[in-house]
């Protein structure tokens, strides 16, 4: 396939790639930024062809280990004319928006490279912790994590993951005296592999091309005892090498033993498994949840829409629990692919196909002619301990107290700080919206999507419950 007809490359992602290329061209003294060299005649990059991709797959064995995530506890923020200077980063245009902050295009002056900077407001997350939530069922092994704790867990997980199909966390910047926590990720200028719904689904060849990457990424996560819980096309980002990388670990779960036993309903409604939608307080398999979401994603790849859809959540849940998968007449897909999707969307998690079985399926391997690497060939065990979660970013007992003491020290006064009318306003770059659930790699505000395609999580408040959040990110509580 050519760059012109490469799948999923929408205008917004192309605009972001053009923006990065233009910035590199303007800075002719800079050698290379994310693969774009300063050349006025260079066109926007296109995705690799399948023949190019096979060369990349053959090089996987010689891949160098990733650099450790940098942790920075002190930040310096200055406002410029066209950007905000954050230590060595120049924060530029906004490429995503959420309830706790934004995602900005960031240029690292030291590394001479662009990154995606996720900026989250700790105040908004701590404020949300005070809202009532449904308690965990009796017998649950642990209580639900609060929003801020989930961010720390996400950081602790991402710091250890090292796989070509997982997005990399490059640096974490957190100053106790500042409201915002900053996370620099590798920039994926091509954005999400697909926006759902779409009138331009993938061919089977293209779908297999991307699905195999998702399969290896999920196998790696399960090998690390991590359940993603929110697999969907907008959380699958395209790298410059044509590989799919899994992103957004905001509601992931770490487990012990052979599988996770989960209780809570979390994820994107249209991609949730039927066993989550019971009124009984029963646990369910975490691995089986990811397999179901992968099945829905594969269906989206070839049909451009979800297999179960309704504008009302209650009706959507009914369809997921009771209706069989329907395969439209057009586009035409092979019987092998229909079989694989049916096996992945088995409503019984006990009989649902597993990751090792999917890897051996004849549609995935093209009747055995193109086998995937064995688990031990691409997975190396890492462990995320409770201590590492606590130390991923240094927790502070009261952010407001630290800011207040800092203000009093600057004034050299320990009287009542609220008596002064000239009390310093806190610096904040936070923005309203949902918890950075909008697709990465998009320019401007987040895409308006149906609530069934937006992530929900009743381990805490749902995205957009607070009154100061964007209404288009709101999602009602369901049980």
Domain boundaries, the chain: 70-378
Give the C-alpha distances (Å, rounded to integers) separating 341 from 285, 307, 335.
19, 10, 10
124-128, 191-195, 349-353: lowest mean pLDDT where? 124-128
Cα 409 off chain centre by: 39
CB-CB contact of 277 with 265 (8 Å):
yes
Query: Mean pLDDT highest for which of 12-21, 360-369, 452-461?
Result: 360-369
Residue 126, pLDDT > 60, answer yes
- Of 254, 82, 87, the C-alpha closest to 180 is 87
pLDDT classification of 243: cutoffs 50, 70, 90: very high
Q: Which of 40-54, 58-72, 74-88, 331-345 has the largest mean confidence?
A: 331-345
Instruction: Using pLDDT thresholds of 50, 70 and 90, give the confidence band for residue 12.
Output: low
418 or 17: which carries more pLDDT confidence?
Answer: 17
* Mean pLDDT, rounded, for 418-443: 36
pLDDT of 400 over the 80 cut: no
Q: Which of the four pLDDT bands, split at 50, 70 and 90, describes residue 146?
A: confident
Q: What is the pLDDT of residue 419?
A: 44
Helix 286-303 / helix 335-344 crossing angle, nearest 10 deg: 150
pLDDT for res 171: 95
Name residue 389's beta-bridge partners. none
Of 119-128, 207-216, 469-478, the one with minimum mean pLDDT is 469-478
For residues 296 and 12, the model is more confident at 296
The pLDDT score that the predictor gives to residue 384 is 59
Per-residue model confidence (pLDDT) at position 280? 76
| DSSP secondary structure of 181-220 | EEEEEE--TT-BS--SS-SSPPPHHHHHHHHHHHHHHHHH
- Asked whether residue 446 carries a pLDDT value surpassing 80, the answer given is no
Q: Are 78 and 84 in contact (CB under 8 A)?
A: yes
Omega prior to 331 cis, within 30 of 0? yes
Predicted pLDDT at 151: 86
Report the range out of 53-67, 126-140, 255-269, 347-361 with the highest average pLDDT. Answer: 347-361
Closest CA to 317 of 325, 326, 308: 308
Question: Three-state DSSP class for 294?
Answer: helix
Q: How far is CA 122 from the centre of its chain?
A: 19
Residue 382 burial (C-beta neighbours within 10 Å; 0-12, 13-18, 19+): middle
Is residue 373 predicted with pLDDT exceeding 50? yes
Average pLDDT over residues 284-294: 97
Per-residue model confidence (pLDDT) at position 47: 45
List of residues 6+ apart from 272 with CB closer than 8 A:
265, 289, 292, 293, 320
Confidence of residue 53 (pLDDT cuts 50, 70, 90): very low
Query: With 80 as the cut, is the pLDDT of residue 99 above it?
Result: no
pLDDT band at 6 (very low <50, low <70, confident <90, very high): very low
Residue 390 binned pLDDT confidence (cut-offs 50, 70, 90): low
Are 30 and 24 contacting, i.e. CB atoms less than 8 angstroms apart? yes
- pLDDT surpasses 80 at 198: yes
Distance CA 38, CA 42 (A): 8
Tokens of 214: 């998702």
Please tell me what DSSP assigns to residue 146. Answer: P
User: How confident is the model over 199-232, as pLDDT tens digits?
Assistant: 999 999 999 999 999 999 999 999 999 999 999 9
On the question of pLDDT at 428 being above 80, the answer is no
Confidence at 241, pLDDT banded by 50, 70, 90: confident
Residues 13-17: what's their mean pLDDT? 70
> C-alpha 61: how far from its chain's center?
26
- Say if residue 399's pLDDT is above 50: no
pLDDT value, residue 216: 98
Phi first, then psi: give them for residue 353, nearest 5 degrees. -60, 150
More confident residue, 23 or 353: 353
Q: In this model, does residue 251 exceed pLDDT 50?
A: yes
Considering the domain 70-378, what is its CATH architecture?
A: Orthogonal Bundle (1.10)
Q: Name the most confidently modeled range: 64-78, 164-178, 391-405.
A: 164-178
Would you state the pLDDT for residue 449? 60
Pick 288 or 450 by higher pLDDT. Answer: 288
Question: Which pLDDT score is estimated for 411?
Answer: 52
**Are the beta carbons of 344 and 295 closer than 8 angstroms?**
yes
pLDDT value of residue 477: 33
CA distance 288 to 373: 21
The more confident residue out of 250 and 329 is 329
Mean pLDDT of the 460-474 span: 31
* Residue 286: Cβ within 10 Å count: 23
Give the confidence band of 418 by pLDDT, cuts at 50, 70, 90. very low
Give the catalytic positions in this structure: 230
Percentage of residues of the chain with pLDDT beyond 70: 62
**What is the rounded CA–CA span in Å between residue 390 and residue 300?**
38
Residue 320: pLDDT above 90? yes
- Which pLDDT value is given to residue 100? 66
């Amino acid at each position: 396939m050519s760059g012109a007809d490469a799948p999923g490359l929408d205008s917004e992602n192309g605009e972001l790639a053009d923006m990065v290329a233009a910035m590199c061209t303007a800075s002719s003294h800079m050698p290379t930024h994310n693969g774009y060299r300063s050349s006025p005649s260079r066109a926007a990059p296109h995705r690799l062809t399948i023949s190019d991709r096979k060369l990349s797959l053959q090089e996987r064995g010689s891949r160098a280990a990733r650099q450790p995530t940098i942790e920075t506890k002190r930040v310096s923020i200055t406002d410029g004319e066209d950007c905000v200077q954050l230590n060595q980063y120049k924060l530029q245009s906004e490429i995503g928006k959420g309830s706790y902050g934004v995602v900005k295009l960031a240029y690292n002056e030291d590394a001479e490279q662009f990154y995606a900077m996720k900026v989250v407001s700790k105040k908004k997350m701590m404020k949300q912790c005070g809202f009532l939530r449904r308690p965990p069922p009796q017998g649950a092994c642990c209580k639900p994590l609060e929003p801020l704790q989930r961010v720390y867990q996400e950081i602790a997980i991402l710091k250890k993951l090292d796989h070509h199909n997982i997005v990399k966390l490059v640096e974490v910047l957190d100053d106790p005296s500042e409201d915002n926590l900053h996370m620099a990720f590798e920039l994926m200028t091509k954005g999400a592999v697909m926006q759902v719904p779409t009138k331009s689904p993938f061919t089977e060849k293209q779908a297999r091309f991307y699905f195999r990457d998702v399969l290896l990424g999920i196998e790696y996560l399960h090998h690390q005892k991590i359940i993603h819980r929110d697999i969907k096309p907008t959380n699958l980002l395209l790298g410059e090498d044509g590989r799919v990388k899994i992103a957004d670990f905001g509601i992931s779960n770490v487990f012990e033993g052979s599988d996770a036993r989960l209780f809570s309903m979390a994820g994107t409604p249209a991609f949730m498994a039927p066993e989550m939608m019971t009124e009984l307080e029963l646990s369910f398999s975490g691995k089986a949840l990811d397999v179901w979401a992968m099945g829905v994603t594969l269906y989206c790849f070839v049909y451009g829409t979800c297999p179960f859809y309704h504008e009302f959540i209650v009706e959507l849940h009914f369809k997921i629990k009771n209706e069989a998968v329907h395969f439209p007449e057009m586009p035409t897909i092979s019987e092998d692919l229909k079989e694989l999707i049916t096996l992945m969307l088995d409503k019984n998690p006990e009989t649902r196909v597993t990751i090792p079985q999917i890897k051996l399926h004849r549609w995935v391997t093209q009747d055995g002619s193109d086998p995937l690497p064995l688990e031990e060939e691409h997975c190396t065990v890492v462990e995320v301990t409770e201590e590492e979660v606590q130390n991923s970013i240094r927790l502070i007992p009261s952010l407001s107290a630290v800011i207040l003491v800092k203000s009093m020290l600057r004034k050299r006064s320990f009287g009542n700080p609220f008596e002064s009318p000239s009390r310093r306003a806190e610096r904040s770059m936070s923005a309203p919206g949902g918890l950075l659930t909008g697709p990465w790699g998009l320019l401007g505000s987040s895409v308006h999507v149906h609530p069934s395609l937006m992530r929900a999580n009743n381990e805490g408040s749902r995205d957009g419950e607070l009154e100061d959040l964007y209404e288009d990110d709101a999602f009602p509580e369901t049980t």
